Each structure stands twice: as structure tokens, then as C-alpha cells.
Structure 1
Amino acid sequence: MKITRIESLTFERLPRLLLVRVHTDAGLIGLGETYDKVPGAQGALHGTLAPILLGNDPRDIERLWHFCFDNILYHGYAGAELRALSAVEMALWDILGKSLNAPVYKLLGGAVRPSVSTYNTCIGHPPVDDYSRWHQDAGELARELAAEGITGVKIWPFDRFSVESFGQSIRPEQIEAGLEPVRQIRQAMGTDFRIGIECHFRWNRAAMEQICYALEPYNIYFVEDPLRAVTPAEIKRLSQATRIPIVGSETLLSRFQIRDWIVEGATQVVMTDLAWTGGIAETKRIAALAEAFGIPLVLHNAGGPITHMASLHVAANIRNLFELETVRAFYRTYFQELTDVQVQVQNGHVPLPPDRPGLGVELLPQVWERDDLRVAVSEGEGRAVGIREMGDSWSRPDIRL
């Protein structure tokens, strides 16, 4: 089996989304995805990765991943390139599952749990505007979510106050205002409803210690990315100064960046995003590394339907899962416009992936009729057929892209 064509799909009305289709001479097509900063990832996909993937056997996932990773490593851990590789790697697993008539999670070793625990990140996408709702009345939103089986949320009530001081200080009245949606949820739902606080690395440690101290009476589930991930020592000090578990960080890419974070015990919970960090197998390796240190893993999952399904397969399989993030505003809207993915949350959990080959997701026919669809294509013989490692790359400028 050979890779014959690699396509990327973008949508003007969904500017954060990049879908990938990997075609084979056997007629199998694998789906992958990454999201955010789409122009860079799309350029890396067609300019750097596709030329060295075309013509190779798509089932050689490990070999192809390392060959591509060695190529992009010349420029560090390369955000755009690694996001593109993540999307391709998902598609290769989809092809492998389809070729063996097996779901991806079974190829990973099977499920270790009957369903997957999840919380709702309160982003908005019309007409489901959970972002505005938690600003208006977070308690009312929590009651609605609970009625649908959702038992936890993630919100970011302090971010707006970081603008004035560049995150260097926060005033008492700002802390009080940031606590208001937390109070509303607690008054509406009691202490069992889980509340995660996202901070988007907007603050320094002094400000974050004040915020965490103010949050402690409210039984907060976690605080995510309080400081920039490049300051693990400061983050560890914050972790030691509060009873609230600290989560981080989706901004660390591949096991090689996350390794020191885990070894140094920067946070009590690790987070990664398989659409950014290298794909399905790399996420499983990160989970295994974290498990060796007794640390659970959150799967950041704020992208599209293919990222969701790939994340669900990994979440079903890894033993040290903390939570799988989901976004109601996405799976109730554009997921259903693009794919056959159906997300149902019951008692704070989503079911295991359907017993379908590969990732268990297909594009709907109407995708090809959208007036905002743009398709880019790479095809041909490929430049690295049969080459197993980079070696002396200067002797092969045709594959050092």
C-alpha cells in the first residue's frame, strides 16, 4: 500500500480548522486534523511533510513519524510542522484501522474503562454561546449543562483583568469580580459540580498566588496554565503554595518538551493536545511517561470532530487519564455540519468510540458543497521512498525541506 495523495481542507467560516485526507492506492482514505494558526500548519504539510510521505506505506506509522520528526527537528520542536505531523499521523492510524477492520483504540491495546470522564469548556460557537452565558449567569448555565448530563466546566474569569497590568498584578476588586461566576455555580449546583479555572498563562506567580488563595474555599477542580510553560520552576512553586491542583501544559510539544516538566514535578496533572504534540502514538508515549511518575493526564481537546475522535480513542486506552476536555458549542454545531460524529454526555462521561474501523468518523457529502471550502493537494511519487532515516541530510537536499 502506498500514499498517493495528501489533501488539506480549510473553511472560511471555520478559520481555526485544518482537515487532512491521506489517500492510498488501495482506495483507503485516512482523516486527520489540527487546529489554530492554520496557514502555518498547512504550509508545513504541503511544503515539508507531503513530499517525503508520498509513495510510502501509510501503515509504517512509527517509521514515517520519526523520519518526519527528524526532518523538522532542525528548527526546534517546530509548532507548525509538528501540528501538521499530528494531523497526518492521525490519518495514518485511521488508514491502519480501516485496513485491519478495527477501531484505533483496540489497536492501541483496548479500552481500560467503560466510558470517559469529561468536562465542558465554555467556548461559544453560534448558536451555542456558552462563553457569553457564563459571563451573564454562570449558575444558570451550570444548571442547563447538568440537565444534559454535563457535570463540570472550565471557565476563565480572571483573564480580562490581566490586560491592565500585563499580568503583573491584580487588585482585590478584580479578584472579587473574577470570583462571581464561581460563586454563581456553587450557589446553583453545590460543591459536587466540577469547576476548572483556565488562566491562559496571563499572570506572574505573585498574582496567581493571590488568585489561587481566593479560589481555595470554592473546591476548585484544577487551575490550568497559570504561568508560561517556559517557567516550570515558578509553576512548581505555585503548585506547592496552593491546595488546588495545577494543570499544564498544552503548549509543550512532544515528549521531549514535556519530559523535564514531568521529571521536575512542575504540576500535579499534565495536559497535552494530540493535534499539536505529535499525534496519537506520541500522546500515548507522553501518558506512559507521566504514569511512571504517578501523574495523570488531561487531553486538551478544543478542536474539531476528528481531533475529538482521535482524543477519545486515546482516552479510552490510557490508564492514567484525568479528564477528556470537550466543547459543547462545537459538537452541537459544526461537528454535525462536517461529519457523522455524535457526542452524547451522560453522568459526566462520553461513551467509548463506536465499533467502527479506524477513527470511526467520516466526512458528510455536503462538505464538498460548502461555498467556503478550499482544498489544497499534494501528489506524485514522493522524494523519500525507501529511505529509513535522515543520515547526512546535506547529501540529500531533496529531502531536507
Structure 2
Amino acid sequence: MKVTALETLTIAEFPFLFWLRVHTDVGIVGTGETFWAPGPVASYIHDNVAPYLIGKDPRDIELHDRTLGSVYVGARDSGAEVRGNSAVNIALWDIYGQALGEPLWRLLGGRTHQTVPIYNTCAGYKHVRASKKNSLFERTEDWSLQAGDSNDGPYEDLLAWRFDAGKLAKSLLSEGIGAMKIWPFDIAAEASNGTRISLSDLDKALEPFKRIRDAVGRDMEIMVELHGLWTLPPALRIAEALKPYDVAWLEEPIRYNELDAMAELARHTSTPIAASERLASRQMFKQLIDKRAASVIMIDLAWCGGLSEARKIANMAEASELPVTLHDCTGPIVYAASCALSATLPNAVYQEAVRAYFTGWYTEIVADLPPVTEGRVAPLDGAGLGMRLREELFERPDATVRRTGV
């Protein structure tokens, strides 16, 4: 089997998403995906990856990982090279599974969990869609929106946690979802550049936690997303203020590559620190683990190097008695691959999911999705990823399609 062509797709409506199809001479097509700045990723794929990969056997996944990962620059962080390599790796595993007629989870060692509990990242329907707010250098949340400003569907969870977090918690529990993630501290971080948080801003940010606990008591786990926006002193203040609410973790409280500051915070709070979706390569995660800067290891397949690298990172965390959770607030291909990998990892505690996505716009991209039942997700059983991009995406007027090869 040989690779014959690499085909990339971007869609203006989803300006941060990037899709890849790897074509072979036996008719099998593998699908990959990554997230953020798709233009540079596409250039890297066509200018650098295609000349190497075309004509090679796509099943030599480890060889291709090592070769593509040995570039002079961009090999140790989630730059365009690593994001592109992540998409390639997922597509090659998809090809391998189709060639053998087996699902990804079988190829990755088989299930250690039949299903994995999800936590719902409380984003809304427009969270990754194009708008005047979308920019590589701007936050995508519009803090001026008020309750009722969006009626795209029943799961406008971004506005729900801002204005009625207790009602949202009840809604999630009614579907068997016992964990949710919110980010009420971000507006204060943006105002101060993360350098301070006033007591009044702290009280405002704590209000959703109070409402959740008042509504459902301790039946809901609450994850706190801090988006790496804070310096150490306000992060310490936030951690201390959250103690009465017994949150599940503080996610990326400090910039993701400031490992010493993260370790300092970890030493001064009993609340677990989760990090970091934005780290790439097992070498960077080894530093995070060795410094005990995080006690929940969060991995994103689109940014760390793909399925192969994620599995190695998870195994390294397991050797250090640390749990992992697979980050996904991006697209359906990475989501499906993550659900497959989560099912195989004995130290996986949660799979991230966004119900506004998997019941909403994900269905515009693919036909099949991992089923969520009573707050738990099962991997797809089809060969490889068990899904493919809808063909009509390539005919959309806002689609940009590039192909290198025959």
C-alpha cells in the first residue's frame, strides 16, 4: 500500500478547523484533523509532508512519526508542524484500521473501559463558528451577550452557566452527565491581563459555583477552566476562594509552559491542577510530570502529535500514578479518535465533550459519532475511525480544497 495524495479542507464558517485526507493506491482514505491557524498547517502539509509521505506505506506509522517529528523547528510545541503532524498521524491510524477491518480502539490495545464518563464543557453553538469576534489574537467569548440572546438549540450552555448555572447543572444531571466545566474567571483576567483579581470580581466569578451547589449539592463535579490567563498571585487567590466548592480541578491556571510557577501553585493548594492541552511531545509532558506541576494530565490529540504520541504520554503518566483526560473542544474527527483512545487507557478518568457540538454542528461534518448514554461515551466500532467527512463539505462555496498528488 502506498500514499498517492494528500488533500486538505478548510471551511470559512469554521475558521479554526483543518481537515486532512490521505489517499492510497488501494482506495482507502484516512481522515485527520487539527485546530487553530489552518492556513500555515495546510502550507506545511503540502510543501513539506507531501513530498516525504507520497509513495510511502502509510502503515509505517512509527517511522513517519519519527521522521516528521525530527524537523529543525516546531518539533517541541504545538506550532503548525506539530498540528499538521497530529492530523497526519490520526489519518494514518484510520488507514491502518480500515486495512485490517478493525476499529481504532482494537488497534490501540483493546478496551479497558466499555464506556468513559464525559464532562460537559459548557460552550455554545457558535463557539467555533465564524463571527466578527473570531481572530487569532482575540478571545471568542462575547461577554456582552445576555440570557436569551441565542436560540440555536436547547444546549446554549455558555450563556446557561453565566446566567443560571444551577438550572444548567440540573439539565446535565437529567441526562446522566455528572461533571461540567466553566470559566467565569476569564472576564477578570482579560481586564487585568491576569495580574490581579479584585475581591468584587472574585465574588462575581464565584456566583456560578454557589448556584450549582445550591441547586444540586455535591452531585455535580465542577471543573474550572482558567485558560492559562493568570500570574501566580491571583491564581493562588482563586484556588483558595474555590475551596468551599470542592471543585474537581483547576485547569491550566497559569500559562501552560510556565512549569515552575504551576508547580509552585500545586504545592500551595489541595485542589488538583490539570494541564496541559497545549503541550506537545512526551518530552514536554515528562517535564510537567517530573515537576509535579499537575496531578491530572490533559492531552489533546490535535496538538500533542496525534494518537501515537498521546498514548505514550498517557503511559508515562500511568507510570507516575497520574490520571489522564483527553481534551476535545475542537472537531468531530479528534473527538472520535479521543473516545477510542480513552476507552483503551486504564488511567483515563474523563473524556471531554460538548453536548452543543455532538448534538449540533458535528452532525454537519460527519454522519456517525460516538454514542453518549447516561453521561458516558463509547467508541465507534467501525473500521479505523468509524467515520468519514461528508462529501458535500468539499462542494461548499466557502470550502478551500487543496490536493497534492494524484
Indicate whether the TM-score tops 0.5: yes
Secondary structure at the aligned position of 1:335 is classed as helix
The ranges of structure 1 where at least 4 consecutive aligned residues each deviate by more than 4 angstroms after the TM superposition are: 72-76
The CA distance in 1 between the partners of 2:268 and 2:192, in whole Å, is 23
Quickly say closer, same or farther: Cα 1:77–1:209, change in 2 above 3 A: closer
2:15 corresponds to which residue?
15
The CA distance in 1 between the partners of 2:360 and 2:370, in whole Å, is 11
Secondary structure at the aligned position of 1:363 is classed as coil
More displaced, 140-149 or 48-57? Answer: 140-149
1:237 corresponds to which residue?
264
Q: CA RMSD in A?
A: 1.5
* Amino acid paired to 1:62: E
1:32 corresponds to which residue?
32
Give the counterpart of 1:157 among 156, 167, 184.
184
User: Deviation of residue 366 (structure 1)?
Assistant: 3.0
Q: Determine whether 1:223 maps to 2:254.
A: no
Q: Is the Cα contact below 8 Å between 2:5 and 2:22 reproduced in 1?
A: yes
User: Deviation of residue 76 (structure 1)?
Assistant: 5.0
Q: Determine whether 1:285 maps to 2:312.
A: yes
Q: Determine whether 1:370 maps to 2:396.
A: yes
Deviation string 1:345-370 (CA, Å, 9 cap, x unpaired) is 3332112x232110111222432342
Quickly say closer, same or farther: Cα 1:287–1:182, change in 2 above 3 A: same
Q: Is the Cα contact below 8 Å between 1:250 and 1:272 reproduced in 2?
A: yes
Q: Is the Cα contact below 8 Å between 1:72 and 1:81 reproduced in 2?
A: no
The aligned runs of 1:269-284 (5 Å cut-off) are 269-284=296-311
Q: How many pairs align? A: 379
Deviation string 1:74-119 (CA, Å, 9 cap, x unpaired) is 7654611100010011010000000000011111110001101110
Secondary structure at the aligned position of 1:287 is classed as helix
The CA distance in 1 between the partners of 2:368 and 2:157, in whole Å, is 20
Deviation string 1:211-250 (CA, Å, 9 cap, x unpaired) is 1111111110111000012221221121121121110111
Give the counterpart of 1:361 among 378, 387, 390.
387
Secondary structure at the aligned position of 1:333 is classed as helix
Deviation string 1:272-299 (CA, Å, 9 cap, x unpaired) is 1011110001100000111111111111
Identity %: 39
The CA distance in 2 between the partners of 1:202 and 1:39, in whole Å, is 26
More displaced, 368-377 or 181-190? Answer: 368-377
Give the counterpart of 1:251 among 245, 270, 278.
278
The CA distance in 2 between the partners of 1:78 and 1:169, in whole Å, is 28
Q: Is the Cα contact below 8 Å between 2:76 and 2:284 reproduced in 1?
A: no
Secondary structure at the aligned position of 2:389 is classed as coil
1:325 corresponds to which residue?
352
Tell me the TM-score normalized by structure 2. Answer: 0.90
1:383 corresponds to which residue?
none
The CA distance in 1 between the partners of 2:77 and 2:365, in whole Å, is 31
Which ranges of structure 2 fall in alignment gaps of 5 or more residues? 127-151
2:367 corresponds to which residue?
340
Secondary structure at the aligned position of 1:178 is classed as helix
Secondary structure at the aligned position of 1:32 is classed as strand
Quickly say closer, same or farther: Cα 1:78–1:327, change in 2 above 3 A: closer
The CA distance in 2 between the partners of 1:362 and 1:165, in whole Å, is 44
2:58 corresponds to which residue?
58
More displaced, 271-280 or 66-75? Answer: 66-75
Secondary structure at the aligned position of 1:313 is classed as helix
Q: Is the Cα contact below 8 Å between 1:98 and 1:357 reproduced in 2?
A: yes
The CA distance in 2 between the partners of 1:340 and 1:262, in whole Å, is 38
1:82 corresponds to which residue?
82
The CA distance in 2 between the partners of 1:74 and 1:331, in whole Å, is 32
User: Deviation of residue 193 (structure 1)?
Assistant: 0.5
Q: Determine whether 1:294 maps to 2:294.
A: no
The CA distance in 2 between the partners of 1:316 and 1:163, in whole Å, is 37
Give the counterpart of 1:183 among 207, 210, 215.
210
User: Deviation of residue 188 (structure 1)?
Assistant: 1.4
Tell me the TM-score normalized by structure 1. Answer: 0.91
Q: Determine whether 1:214 maps to 2:241.
A: yes
Which ranges of structure 1 fall in alignment gaps of 5 or more residues? 381-401
User: Deviation of residue 129 (structure 1)?
Assistant: 2.4
Q: Is the Cα contact below 8 Å between 1:17 and 1:34 reproduced in 2?
A: yes
More displaced, 142-151 or 366-375? Answer: 366-375
* Amino acid paired to 1:39: G
